[in-house]
Amino acid sequence: MLIKFELENFRSVRDSMELSLAAINYYKEHRDELLEKTLPGLSGVRFLRAAAIFGPNASGKSTVFQGLRTMQDIVLRSASMPSSTELPYRPYLLDESSRTKPTSFFVAFVSEGVRYEYSFSYTATIVTEEKLSAFPKGREQVWFVRKTSERQNGNLGTHINGSSFLRVPAALLPLLNDNALLLSLLANYPKYEGSIKVKPVVDWFAKGLMMLDRGPKTISDYPFSGEILDGEGTEFQRSFIQNMIRKADVGISETKVERVPFPEELRRSDLLNLLEEHEQPEEYKTVVFEHDSQFGKVKFNINDESDGTYQLFSLSGHIAQALEGGATLFVDEIDASLHPILVREVVRCFLSPGSNSNDAQLVFTAHNPCLLDEDLLRRDQVWLTEKSQGATELYPLSEYSPRNDESLVSGYLLGRYSATPLVPACFGRCDSGCEGEACGD
């Protein structure tokens, strides 16, 4: 379960900003949809099953998503990278001081019933700071702290302080590159006691955190949901996908994975000739949808379906996996090519304790203001982005203290909470000669 994520000096984010999934007790709506967790040190704190980020184009909504995905990638991959490989360092570029400052990430989460806090800072070539703490009994247990600084002779000096709670194996320290996280290195050597102890932390990044970037349609005959249907997933996941597609009113009665021969023209292409030293595949997998008609069942290839059907199917497998595993699912542009009623039902899958018995979470970015309906989201579940002098700012809707009877949809569209584009009519000028005034063209 995600509690909080913070990032600083990453892409359009200059100053430190946070996304919190802790509920505000003042708000009484939808209290039955909150997560009740018994966490030492956080008594009385409830948590959100879902959160939404709204804002105009290019305001930085996706930057929050990209930041957490970058943090996840560095945790899971940095210890396996060559020492010469640069880290994904993308600082804020619109002021001189930020261009050379480290990027910083911080996350607070729960894994296997224990609360953890983990953070690190880095540049293109160096992890400058790293810290891991646990709160099994409420008080902070600092498991390790790492700091890297430049010595007088120009060389780098790395200091790692373990603790009685987690002993860092001395045999691993010579293997720690400047561009690698200690947490990532520990995960690669599971025989050590310290490595075993951090396993719930690494598992949360690997399995408890799911990042899905939707955006423009990318054609694939065999997306992730197809793998689940073909036997890679569980019975729950396969059933969920079938039911979701069947009930979405897109005219599909069943979804299947079929194996079809490679077209002869493709076999003769240069693409397969590149594989001549290997056995050339005889067939490939594709997803087909069955539609009922007056002639019986009619099959359509996934690439013959609409963008909306493709996106819904692609999304369904990730939803099923998150719900079954109790994971935190981030979806960028959840409303891309989907009707708002379908998106509402996707969100309800996570909000309802009946369909979300494993306490999964959904965090999404969106544009459609219909999703701001107070019948769907609490006021503390809505976050907004806008830019100030080129830098992204992320803030909760609760800062504006909207009334219980206030229409969030109207307030958002009227710019009451900022986070809306300031666009003059006709973009300032049209062929009719108007400048910034409404016209009938």
Per-residue pLDDT of the chain (441 residues; tens, 9 = 90+): 999 999 999 999 999 999 999 999 998 899 999 999 989 999 899 999 999 999 998 999 999 999 999 999 999 999 999 999 999 999 999 999 999 999 999 999 999 999 999 999 999 999 999 999 999 999 999 999 999 986 655 567 788 988 889 989 999 999 999 999 999 999 999 999 999 999 999 999 999 999 997 655 455 556 789 999 998 899 999 999 999 999 998 889 999 998 887 666 655 555 555 555 555 566 778 899 999 888 888 999 888 888 889 889 999 999 999 999 999 999 999 998 899 999 999 999 999 999 999 999 999 999 998 899 878 999 999 999 999 989 999 999 988 888 777 878 788 877 778 877 766 666 565 555 555 444 444
152 plus 19 within the same structural domain = yes
Last residue of a domain, one of 324, 356, 390: 324
* pLDDT score recorded for residue 274: 55
Angle at 210 between CA 205 and CA 213, to 5 degrees: 130
> What's the half-sphere exposure (Cβ side, CA atoms, 13 Å) at 7?
29
Backbone angles phi, psi at 291, to 5 degrees: -115, 140
* pLDDT score recorded for residue 75: 99
* pLDDT score recorded for residue 412: 81
134 plus 275 within the same structural domain = no
Residue whose C-alpha is closest to residue 231's, from 317, 314, 289, 115: 317
387 plus 433 within the same structural domain = yes
* pLDDT score recorded for residue 302: 86
* pLDDT score recorded for residue 156: 72
**DSSP element (H, E) containing 248:** none
- Integer angstrom CA distances of residue 408 from 311, 334, 376: 27, 19, 11
**Dihedral of the alpha carbons of 371, 375, 376, 381, in degrees to the nearest 10:** 90
Q: Bin 34: left if φ > 0, else alpha if -120 < ψ < 50, else beta.
A: beta
* Number of domain units in the chain: 2
203 plus 236 within the same structural domain = no
Distance CA 132, CA 142 (A): 6
**DSSP element (H, E) containing 413:** helix 408-413
Last residue of a domain, one of 277, 298, 324: 324
306 plus 373 within the same structural domain = no
234 plus 211 within the same structural domain = no
251 plus 171 within the same structural domain = no
Backbone angles phi, psi at 358, to 5 degrees: -100, 15
Distance CA 322, CA 317 (A): 9
Domain that holds residue 231: 219-324
Backbone angles phi, psi at 314, to 5 degrees: -60, -40
127 plus 195 within the same structural domain = yes
Distance CA 310, CA 286 (A): 13
Look up the pTM and report it: 0.89
> How is residue 414 written in tokens?
């009227």
**DSSP element (H, E) containing 177:** none
Contact at 8 Å (CB) between 146 and 37?
A: no
Last residue of a domain, one of 283, 300, 324: 324
Distance CA 294, CA 141 (A): 67
Cα R_g (the chain), whole angstroms: 25
99 plus 179 within the same structural domain = yes
DSSP letter string, 191-211 = TSHHHHHTHHHHHIIIIIEEE
133 plus 152 within the same structural domain = yes
Distance CA 165, CA 181 (A): 19
Distance CA 16, CA 10 (A): 9
320 plus 359 within the same structural domain = no
314 plus 226 within the same structural domain = yes
Residue whose C-alpha is closest to residue 410's, from 370, 383, 364: 370
